[in-house]
Amino acid sequence: MSDRHGYFIEDLQVGMSASYGKTVTEADIVLFAGVSGDTNPVHLDEEFAKPTMFKTRIAHGMLSAGFISTVLGTKLPGPGAIYMSQTLKFKAPVKIGDSVLATATITEIIPDKKRVVLSTVCKVGETVVIEGEAMVMAPSRKS
C-alpha cells in the first residue's frame, strides 16, 4: 500500500482492520453545516439544544459517519477503493470535544466481483455511537 494506491483485492483477508480517529471541534460542526446545508439548530444553537434530550449541541451524525469514509478511502482498502453502500445505526450522540474512532473490519471478500464487505463502527471511548456495514469495490492487479 502507498499514498497513491491502497490494497489490491488480492492482498486483502477477512479480519483485516483499520481505524481513523478525530476529535470533533466547533469548527468541524460549523463547516459541515455549511457544506451539507444541514443547519438544524440542535447542531448550531446551544440555547435551542439545552432543553433537548442531549442537553447540549451535538455533531451531525453524518459528520461522524464520514470518518468511516476516511478509513475506507485512505486505509482499508485505501486509495482506489470505490464506496458502494453503507448501512448506519446511530446509537449515541457525539458532542463537541468528543474523540471519535472509526474502525472498519473486513468480514467478506467477493473476488470475482472485486467487492469487499466490512463491518463499521464509530466509538467515543467505549461507547458505540454508530455501527453498520459497508461494501466497497477494491482495485485488482488484473485490471
Q: What is the DSSP string of 66-77?
A: HHHHHHHHHTSS
Question: Which position has the grid cell 494506491?
Answer: 5
**2 located within any domain:** no
**1 located within any domain:** no
**143 located within any domain:** no
**3 located within any domain:** no
Question: Which position has the grid cell 463499521?
Answer: 120
**Residue 23 per-residue DSSP state:** E
Cβ–Cβ contacts within 10 Å for residue 99, how many? 12
Question: What is the predicted pLDDT for the residue at 3?
Answer: 62
Say how many domains are in the chain.
Answer: 1
Question: What is the predicted pLDDT for the residue at 43?
Answer: 97
**142 located within any domain:** no
**Can you give the CATH number for the domain in which 130 is found?**
3.10.129.10
Question: What is the predicted pLDDT for the residue at 118?
Answer: 98
**52 located within any domain:** yes
Question: Which position has the grid cell 466481483?
Answer: 113
Q: What is the mean pLDDT of residues 39-51?
A: 97
Q: What is the mean pLDDT of residues 61-79?
A: 97
Question: What is the predicted pLDDT for the residue at 141?
Answer: 87
Domain that holds residue 124: 9-137
Contact 105, 54 (CB under 8 A): no
Q: How far apart are the C-alpha atoms of 117 and 107, rounded to whole Å?
A: 6
Alpha-carbon distance values, 136 to 31, 57, 142 (Å): 27, 33, 17
C-alpha cell at 126: 467505549
**4 located within any domain:** no
Question: Is 60 exceeded by the pLDDT of residue 2?
Answer: no
Q: What is the mean pLDDT of residues 40-69?
A: 97
Tell me the pLDDT band of 5, cut-offs 50, 70 and 90. Answer: confident
**49 located within any domain:** yes
Q: Which residues are CB-contacts of 92 (< 8 A; sequence separation ≥ 6)?
A: 124, 127, 128, 129
